Amino acid sequence: MKILHLSWIFAGGLLLGQAHAMAAGVDCGSTPFRVGHFKLGYRYYIENGQEKGINKDIVDELRSRTGCQFVTQVMPFARIWSDLASGDLDISISGIRNPERDRTLWCAPTIASKNYAVIRIATAKNVQSAQDFLANDKLIFGVVRGYTHGVAQDIWLDTVRKANRVEESASVEVLAEKLKLGRIDGMFSFPFVYRKLLPDQKLEGEVLVQDWASNDKGITGCIMLTKSRFNEVEAGRWQSLVRQMHSDGTLKRIFMRYVPEAEAAKMLDF
């Protein structure tokens, strides 16, 4: 009787999950969705051994709305993109569209944000713009390998790269350490990243945040869905589900757990 009772519970859980998925209009499939996370400020971080951040909260919300199963894994930024392209991963919660990724991935927009320049105070005495930084050929700018920063920022970075004044690193944490040690003089960062990164790395009071592209609205971040797991119809259903989270205020509530309300409102402008 005990085994039968557990079978009823298991069957009930499956039926409940199917009901959630039907209500959301998505197909959960026969295996859990494999999600790759990388550490990125308040987007995703580990605290006391527990997953936290905007991306983790979005996965929790998708699980609640659909009843689908998600298996998450923390991995380097570069590996996420190779595993998505190969089909070894199904989803990334943080991603930016480009022509190469469009070949293998669908995009479900979730967040808008702009990169700001984080500059050492000693550097900032004579640097208030991207042009000022470029004019001093002794200054080095740091970037995370493979990151997209925005139209204006990436055009500017191409110029700095040609002058051999860009140093690449594997993560924002490594960049912050180099900034602290004076190995680089500046880096780009989203507000939801530097709000956590600067106190964590004890950089408050050591750097200034500057807006080098005041007319640039920034870039739109997406949940990236691999085309090897999601066909166009299914991708459209997930995109609709995310739009519902935007329209009913869920995304704003998630963002406001980590940033001020005014900033959360800007993050919804996509």
Show pLDDT as tens, one digit a residue, over the chain (270 residues).
Answer: 333 343 343 444 444 444 455 556 899 999 999 999 999 999 999 999 999 999 999 999 999 999 999 999 999 988 999 999 999 999 999 999 888 899 999 999 999 999 999 999 999 999 999 999 999 999 999 999 988 898 889 999 999 999 999 999 999 999 999 999 999 999 999 999 999 999 999 999 999 999 999 888 889 999 999 999 999 999 999 999 999 999 999 999 999 999 999 999 999 998
Domain identity same for 131 and 185: yes
Domain identity same for 61 and 193: no
| Token representation of residue 43 | 């987007």
Domain identity same for 126 and 156: yes
Q: What Å distances lie between residue 72 and 34, 35, 44, 69, 190, CA to CA?
A: 6, 5, 12, 10, 24
Domain identity same for 164 and 124: yes
Domain identity same for 80 and 146: no
pLDDT score at 137: 95
pLDDT score at 167: 97
Does residue 3 sit within a domain? no
Domain total in the chain = 2
Quick one: CA dihedral 266, 24, 225, 193, positive or negative? positive
pLDDT score at 148: 87
Domain identity same for 101 and 120: no
Does residue 226 sit within a domain? yes
196-215 residues labelled b (16+ CB within 10 A) or e (exposed) = bbbeebebeeebbebebbee
pTM of the prediction? 0.86
AA identity, residue 268: L
Does residue 5 sit within a domain? no
pLDDT score at 21: 55
Domain identity same for 105 and 137: no
Residue where one domain finishes, among candidates 161, 192, 210? 210
Residue where one domain finishes, among candidates 185, 210, 235? 210
Domain identity same for 149 and 182: yes
Does residue 23 sit within a domain? no
Domain identity same for 57 and 181: no
Domain identity same for 120 and 205: yes
Domain identity same for 45 and 79: yes
pLDDT score at 24: 60
Residue where one domain finishes, among candidates 162, 181, 210? 210
pLDDT score at 1: 38
Does residue 1 sit within a domain? no
Q: Which domain holds residue 260?
A: 31-112+219-267
Does residue 15 sit within a domain? no
Nearest-5° Cα angle at 18, 14 to 21: 140
CATH of residue 141's domain is: 3.40.190.10
Does residue 24 sit within a domain? no
Domain identity same for 234 and 103: yes
Does residue 94 sit within a domain? yes
AA identity, residue 182: G
